[in-house]
């Protein structure tokens, strides 16, 4: 009788959890599908409806401060950054002279604060110095590695924003080239008209750096290579390869740019459609767990209960 009651309760609870989770998953799936469909509609509507480009005045703030003095002081004791670390900072968008010092300060402060808090908490709970030392070292190591992990996340987010805005930039470049304007002149007009939208800032910063390299007299292939190395965006690499090859051959690039922007948009639409196709499968896996689990309990529950009763009788 007790076994039957337990099994009935398990079935009722599992069924209730299943229906609740299934309802929530269906709502989440519908919301995610609507969101992805809206993104496809935006891509299909064209550049003019996305509202990415606005004419705004940009302000540049500069000057020395106590923070700069503090960073210069830390820079005298901070280790010299490796080329790999400088490249990682560059791809993440941290390009100030003291960027590597800021990262070093974040790592040291995260290690000290995390290790100290973990050590004090462990000592108050366990009163064991060995556990306290292990907790301090472990949490301190995690605190030291945290800023580096955040740096990789920032790099991925920045590359994604570049991939989103690059097709629109290519369309603007192509329209200017059809109108008879040189690419460098078009870049100057377009970069000055870009607003301070956070989505536009990564690609604007990279092209401004490319423009500065051109004005300094650096060879054009080197300028394109440096532009492709400023982020992890594959689309930027395709774009710079096209521009480099077109400048070497001397052909018209307007048609190639239009085809490339269409290719980037089509590939992004395909990625979104693939996400929609996989969404239902990902959502169903969680609800299936609440179907299989009650079946396993119903099949194996009586066996385990009988075995527990037999073991209890043996040890009486």
279, 26 contact by CB (below 8 A): no
Looking at residue 55, its pLDDT comes to 35
Local confidence pLDDT in tens for the 316 residues of the chain: 555 565 566 556 655 665 665 566 556 666 666 666 666 666 655 544 444 433 333 333 444 566 666 666 666 666 667 778 788 888 888 887 777 777 888 888 888 888 888 888 888 887 788 888 888 889 888 888 888 888 888 898 899 889 888 888 888 888 888 888 888 888 888 888 777 778 788 888 899 889 998 988 889 889 999 998 888 888 899 899 888 888 888 767 888 888 888 888 888 888 888 877 777 676 666 666 667 767 777 777 777 777 767 766 665 5
Looking at residue 252, its pLDDT comes to 72
Looking at residue 222, its pLDDT comes to 92
List the one residue out of 137, 163, 27 whose CA is nearest residue 129.
137
User: What DSSP assignment string belongs to 30-76?
Assistant: HHHHHHHHHHHHHHHH-GGGT---------------HHHHHHHHHHT
284, 23 contact by CB (below 8 A): no
How far is 155 from 224, CA to CA, in rounded Å? 20
Q: Which tokens belong to 33?
A: 């599908």
């Amino acid at each position: 009788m007790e076994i039957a009651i337990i099994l009935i309760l398990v079935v009722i609870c599992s069924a209730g959890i299943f229906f609740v989770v299934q309802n929530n998953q269906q709502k989440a799936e519908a919301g995610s599908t609507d969101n992805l469909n809206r993104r496809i509609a935006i891509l299909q509507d064209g550049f003019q409806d996305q509202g990415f480009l606005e004419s705004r005045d940009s302000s540049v703030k500069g000057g020395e401060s106590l923070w700069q003095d503090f960073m210069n002081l830390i820079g005298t004791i901070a280790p010299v950054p490796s080329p790999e670390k400088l490249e990682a900072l560059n791809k993440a968008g941290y390009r100030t002279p003291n960027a590597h010092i800021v990262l070093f300060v974040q790592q040291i402060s995260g290690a000290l604060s995390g290790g100290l808090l973990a050590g004090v908490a462990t000592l108050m709970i366990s009163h064991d110095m060995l556990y306290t030392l292990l907790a301090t070292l472990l949490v301190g190591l995690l605190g030291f590695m945290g800023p580096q992990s955040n740096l990789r996340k920032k790099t991925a987010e920045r590359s994604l924003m570049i991939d989103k805005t690059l097709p629109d930039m290519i369309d603007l470049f192509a329209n200017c080239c059809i109108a008879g304007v040189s690419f460098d002149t078009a870049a100057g007009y377009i970069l000055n008209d870009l607003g301070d939208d956070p989505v536009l800032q990564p690609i604007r910063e990279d092209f401004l750096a490319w423009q500065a390299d051109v004005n300094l007299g650096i060879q054009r292939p080197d300028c394109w290579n440096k532009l492709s190395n400023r982020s992890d965006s594959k689309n930027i690499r395709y774009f710079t390869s096209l521009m480099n090859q077109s400048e070497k051959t001397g052909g018209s690039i307007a048609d190639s740019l239009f085809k490339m922007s269409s290719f980037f948009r089509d590939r992004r639409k395909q990625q979104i459609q693939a996400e929609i196709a996989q969404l239902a499968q990902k959502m169903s896996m969680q609800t299936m767990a609440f179907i299989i689990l009650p079946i396993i309990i119903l099949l194996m529950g009586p066996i385990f209960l009988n075995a527990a009763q037999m073991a209890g009788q043996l040890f009486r």
